[in-house]
């Protein structure tokens, strides 16, 4: 089998998605996600101008060789644009392999290790009461794990608190919106949220919280310690992790489990975190980390060091990524949990898929390949629209982490 052609598909059914479609000389095609929120067209150009010409005529079964050809061959390594482009190719090739062999991709990754993939949903509200109502709604839908974020008294807007109840979308059209931040107000408020949730929902529900890289290591230690009575499933991105040693300090001060890595691109971003056992969950995801071929290596390194996976699964990852994540999650032994933010009906219509939610689990479906398709005619109705993630400033105007 040979790669005949490939093209980048851009659509905006409510938000932007970049999809790579690779066609073979045997009529089989594969899909890969290359969406990088707020920087989508950089990946589209990387693929169209620099990657696709090098793919024509290659054997789509050679996923390992093609991965290294694109990674080492570029000379310029790592980075979100490069790694998302490589991921799109890798995902599409595994989709082709599955279809050619008439089997779901998970069977090529070791087969099913579990009957379903436990997912967590997003409950958020403008205050503690409203967040608790949302948690209740998620438990009624069957979720066993829920991430809770609440507005902070005294701050006009907060990360993670959406405008829509079901469909959280952080990117906004136009230029980047600005949020205001106070670490002290945040640290004083969050324990009250989780105290309320434990009283109302009991001990068994898995509760998660995303700090979104906003604390210093010692502040994160304080937060983790104050949340210990409420035994969170995890505290996510407590600090920016470019400096991996920072997590050592957090670790020394709290037993609250730590998840990190949604913005990482290669194994080198997490190597110290994993081998020193400074984290409990690695949140790297297929689309931003080089696809199956690379994330498998990360998961295997993590398995040796008591670290489990918890792949990023926000709405800015397309249904192709969600399907791919489910094949990966169901196959590996050290799976921990999968994030699941529901896409809008418009997005689901562009990407018809076989995965489905059932009593707190997502199931990837039994069909060949990834089990996702792309409706090109429908997608063409929604052309690209520039949108940005917000930026964040401290009360005195200082530019801060988002
Ligand atoms: C968040 C994301 O899902 C998460 O944990 O951190 O909403 C993230 O902000 C977006 O995916 C950024 O594109
Ligand atoms: Mg996050």
Which among 312, 318, 388 is the best mutation to test ligand 1's pocket, defined by most ligand atoms within 8 Å of the CB?
A: 312
Atom 9, ligand 1: which residue's CA is nearest? 170
Which among 35, 172, 210 is the best mutation to test ligand 1's pocket, defined by most ligand atoms within 8 Å of the CB?
A: 210
What's the topology of domain 3-104?
Enolase-like; domain 1 (3.30.390)
Residue 375 burial (C-beta neighbours within 10 Å; 0-12, 13-18, 19+): middle
Give the helix/strand (H/E) hosting 148.
strand 145-150
Give the three-state DSSP class for 357: strand
3-state class percentages of the chain: helix first, strand second, coil last, to nearest 5: 40, 20, 45
What is the full per-residue pLDDT of the chain (402 aa) written as tens digits? 999 999 999 999 999 999 999 999 999 999 999 999 999 999 999 999 999 999 999 999 999 999 999 999 999 999 999 999 999 999 999 999 999 999 999 999 999 999 999 999 999 999 999 999 999 999 999 999 999 999 999 998 776 676 666 667 778 888 999 999 999 999 999 999 999 999 999 999 999 999 999 999 999 999 999 999 999 999 999 999 999 999 999 999 999 999 999 999 999 999 999 999 999 999 999 999 999 999 999 999 999 999 999 999 999 999 999 999 999 999 999 999 999 999 999 999 999 999 999 999 999 999 999 999 999 999 999 999 999 999 999 999 999 998
The two tokens of residue 390 are 């917000």
Atom 3, ligand 1: which residue's CA is nearest? 314
Give me the residue label for tokens 């992790």: 241
Strands (E), 196-285: 206-210, 234-236, 258-260, 281-282
C-alpha distances in Å from residue 103, one per residue of 98, 357, 368, 371 = 5, 21, 4, 10
Domain ranges of the chain: 3-104, 108-368
Calculate Rg over the CA atoms of the chain: 20
Q: How far is the CA of 224 from the centre of ligand 1 (A)?
A: 20
Beta bridge partners of 362: 117, 357
CATH number of 108-368: 3.20.20.120
The two tokens of residue 48 are 């169209």
Tally Cβ neighbours within 10 Å of residue 49. 10
> CA 250, CA 340: separation in Å to the nearest integer?
27
For residue 197, give every residue at least 6 positions away whose Cβ sits within 8 Å of its Cβ, in sequence order, or none: 131, 132, 135, 148, 205, 207, 230
φ/ψ of 161, rounded to 5, equals: -105, 110
Question: In this structure, which ligand is nearest to the CA of 389?
Answer: 1
The closest alpha carbon to 239, from 254, 218, 257, belongs to 218
> CA 265, CA 259: separation in Å to the nearest integer?
15
């Amino acid at each position: 089998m040979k790669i005949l052609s490939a093209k980048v598909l851009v659509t905006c059914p409510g938000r932007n998605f970049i999809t790579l479609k690779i066609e073979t000389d045997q009529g089989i095609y594969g899909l890969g996600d290359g969406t990088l929120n707020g920087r989508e067209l950089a990946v589209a150009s990387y693929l169209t101008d620099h990657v696709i010409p090098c793919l024509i005529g290659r054997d789509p079964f050679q996923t390992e060789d093609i991965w290294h050809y694109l990674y080492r061959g570029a000379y310029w390594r790592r980075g979100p644009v490069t790694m998302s482009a490589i991921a799109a190719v890798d995902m599409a090739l595994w989709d082709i392999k599955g279809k050619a062999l008439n089997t779901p991709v998970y069977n090529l990754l070791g087969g099913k290790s579990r009957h379903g993939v436990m997912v967590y949903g997003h409950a958020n509200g403008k205050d503690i009461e409203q967040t608790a109502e949302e948690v209740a709604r998620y438990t009624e839908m069957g979720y066993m794990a829920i991430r809770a974020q609440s507005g902070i008294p005294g701050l006009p807007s907060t990360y993670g608190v959406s405008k829509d109840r079901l469909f959280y979308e952080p990117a906004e059209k136009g230029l980047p919106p600005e949020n205001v931040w106070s670490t002290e107000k945040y640290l004083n408020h969050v324990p009250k949220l989780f105290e309320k949730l434990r009283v109302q929902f009991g001990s068994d529900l898995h509760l998660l919280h995303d700090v979104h890289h906003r604390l210093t290591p010692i502040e994160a230690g304080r937060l983790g310690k104050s949340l210990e009575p409420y035994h969170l499933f995890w505290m996510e991105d407590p600090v920016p992790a470019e400096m991996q040693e920072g997590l050592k300090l957090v670790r020394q001060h709290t037993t609250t489990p730590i998840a990190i890595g949604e913005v990482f691109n290669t194994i080198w971003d997490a190597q110290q975190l994993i081998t020193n056992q400074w984290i409990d969950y690695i949140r790297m995801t297929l689309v931003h980390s080089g696809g199956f071929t690379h994330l498998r290596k990360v998961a295997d390194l993590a398995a040796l060091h008591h670290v489990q996976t918890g792949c990023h699964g926000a709405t800015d990852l397309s249904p192709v990524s969600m399907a791919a994540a489910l094949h990966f999650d169901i196959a590996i032994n050290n799976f921990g949990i999968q994030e699941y933010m529901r896409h809008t009906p418009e997005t689901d219509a562009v990407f018809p898929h076989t995965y489905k939610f059932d009593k707190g689990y997502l199931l990837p479906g039994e069909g060949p390949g990834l089990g996702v398709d792309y409706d090109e005619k429908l997608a063409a109705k929604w052309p690209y629209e520039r949108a940005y993630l917000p930026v964040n400033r401290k009360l005195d105007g200082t530019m801060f982490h988002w």
